[in-house]
Chains A and B, each alone.
Chain A
């Protein structure tokens, strides 16, 4: 009895012919998976001084922030007065957090300042340059109450140059 009923039920079910649709899906899914981009690319803009403005700049007496990336340390200095701080490497590498907190103090003293110059030694890797640029551009702080990370702008207009040879 139960066998008969189940057979009848199967005869009544309408078979959808989805083979063509399935074929399409089977092709489309791997194709889209391959072409899908899961890593987002973004850009960092450089603020290169144009030929005309470069000459006029030194007339300003205010702070000219220079961050020199060396093999063993990151030096923060002012073009006019000289070295402000040397952030020595930790055993793990560059002390980016130390750089960030120091630059935050500088920003508090000069709130209107928004440009900085990065000076690099020739053998510094591109990844280090980008990591330092990140720290110079913004500082991220954890807002404990809301458990949210807030990014504060530091010196987003960054120029790049060669480090002077250390004497």
Chain B
């Protein structure tokens, strides 16, 4: 194949400079090193709650860190305890009783397991964290909470995604100007 004048010229040019070909990776290395240390430090913060990929948590300005507890996840299709699906939301809403029997059984099983691990035998001190999708209605949330209380969990917490309030954001922006 006959190469064009420009291609030939570039070929010659490349041949001439072949000897000095060396990738300059210094800046890339710099940024990688900084990035790796930043991410390592960032990820070393212990994540006590599972990653909420299939649900969207409601936003709140709450600052309290989550503790290590039994986690009940309420997505728009499933009800999960410690990451394991125990019931379908459609099944729960089709029945009309306040207590969800599957959830109660699973929570009691979890509290028995916890009991063996620790001396947390006072029902008032047992804690459950509810991670719910922000669209779920109160009628469903209320049944989950009632079931948790019925299964002898004295303390309930709601998991939320932490955000900055509009007022703080406005103050921060005006401070920057």
- A residues adjacent to B (C-beta < 8 A): 6-7, 10, 15, 18, 21-22, 25-26, 28-29, 32-33, 35-37, 39-46, 48, 50, 120-127, 129-131, 133-134, 137-138, 140-142, 147-149, 160, 162
Contact = CB atoms under 8 A, between A and B. Distances in A.
Interface in B51-98: 51-52, 57-67
Contact of B51 (A37, A46, A120, A137): A37
B49 interface: yes
B101 interface: no
Contacts of B64: 42-45
Nearest to B56: A127
A62 to B, nearest CB: 24
B15 interface: no
Given A40-B161, A48-B154, A122-B138, A22 B171 contact: no
Instruction: Please give me the 4 A-B residue pairs with the lowest Cβ-Cβ distance, nearest first.
Output: A32-B39, A122-B139, A127-B134, A130-B58
Nearest to B50: A41
**Residue from the set B20, B124, B138 with the largest chain A CB neighbour count within 10 Å:** B138
A28 B36 contact: yes
A149 B145 CA distance: 34
Dominant SS among interface residues on chain A: mixed
A66 to B, nearest CB: 15
B160 to A, nearest CB: 6
A129 B135 CA distance: 11
**Residue from the set A124, A126, A134 with the largest chain B CB neighbour count within 10 Å:** A126
Given A122-B139, A129-B138, A129-B141, A43 B65 contact: yes
Interface residues of B, number: 58
Interface stretch (B3-11, B40-48, B108-116): B40-48
B120 interface: no
**Residue from the set A6, A21, A43, A120 with the largest chain B CB neighbour count within 10 Å:** A43
B65 A42 contact: yes
A142 B54 CA distance: 36
Contacts of A125: 134-138
A29 B32 contact: yes
A81 B129 CA distance: 34
Contact of A41 (B35, B52, B171): B52
**Residue from the set A127, A133, A138, A162 with the largest chain B CB neighbour count within 10 Å:** A127
Nearest to B175: A147
A69 to B, nearest CB: 8
A41 B138 contact: no
A149 B138 contact: no
B160 A25 contact: no
Given A37-B43, A125-B138, A126-B134, 6 more contacts: A41-B162, A42-B161, A123-B138, A125-B137, A130-B134, A134-B61
B58 A127 contact: yes
Contact of A44 (B134, B157, B175): B157
B171 A124 contact: no
21 contacts: A22-B32, A29-B36, A32-B35, A32-B36, A32-B40, A36-B43, A41-B52, A42-B63, A42-B159, A42-B160, A43-B67, A45-B156, A46-B145, A125-B135, A126-B132, A126-B133, A126-B136, A126-B137, A142-B167, A149-B167, A160-B142
